Chains A and B, each alone.
Chain A
Amino acid sequence: MSSDNKALYARISRRETHSPRSLLAIVLAVVLIIVFAWVGTEVVIALLGLPALLVAPSDMFVSALGVAEQPAAIVAAAGIVAAVIGLVLIILSLSPGRRARHVIDTERAATVVDNEVIASALARHASYAGNVDPDNTTVSVSHRRAVVDLTPTSGIPANRDDVAEAVTAQLDAYGLRPTVRARVQIAEKAKVGA
Chain B
Amino acid sequence: MSIASTTETGAAQRGRTRVTSKALNKVVSAVTADALGVDAARVGVELADHTGALALVVTTPIRIVSLDRVSTDNSVVARSGGTILDRAGQAQTTIRDRVSALTGSQIARVTVKVSGVTIQPEERVK
- Which B residues are in CB contact (< 8 Å) with A157? 1, 52-53, 106
**Chain B residue, CB-CB nearest to A186:** B52
- What count of chain A residues pass the 8 Å CB interface test? 22
Interface of A is mostly: loop
List the one stretch of B2-10, B72-80, B81-89, B112-120 in contact with chain A.
Answer: B2-10
Q: Name the distance in Å between A167's Cβ and chain B's nearest Cβ.
A: 12
Contact B54–A129 (Cβ < 8 Å)? no
Q: Give chain B's interface secondary structure class.
A: mixed
Contact assessment for A129 and B5 in the assembled complex, using a CB-CB cutoff below 8 Å: yes
How does the 8 Å CB contact mask read for B1-41 relative to A, with 1 for contact and 0 for none?
A: 11011100001110010111111100000000000000000
Q: How far is the CA of A131 from the CA of B4 in the complex (A)?
A: 8
Beyond A189-B51, A192-B21, whether A155 also contacts B105 by CB under 8 A is yes
Question: When each residue 155-194 of chain A gets 1 if its CB lies under 8 Å from chain B and 0 otherwise, what string results?
Answer: 1110100100010000000000000000000001111111
Out of B12, B20, B22, name the residue touching A131 (CB < 8 Å). Answer: B12
Number of interface residues, chain B, beta carbon within 8 A: 29
Q: Inter-chain contact count A-B, CB under 8 Å?
A: 75
Docked-complex contact A156 and B49, CB < 8 angstroms: no
B residues with CB within 8 A of A: 1-2, 4-6, 11-13, 16, 18-24, 47-54, 103-107
What residue of chain A has the Cβ atom nearest to residue B55's Cβ?
A154
CA distance A152 to B22 in the complex (A): 18
Residues of B within 8 A of A130 (CB): 5
Q: CB-nearest residue of chain A relative to B22? A: A193
Which A residues are CB-close (under 8 A) to B2?
Answer: 159, 162
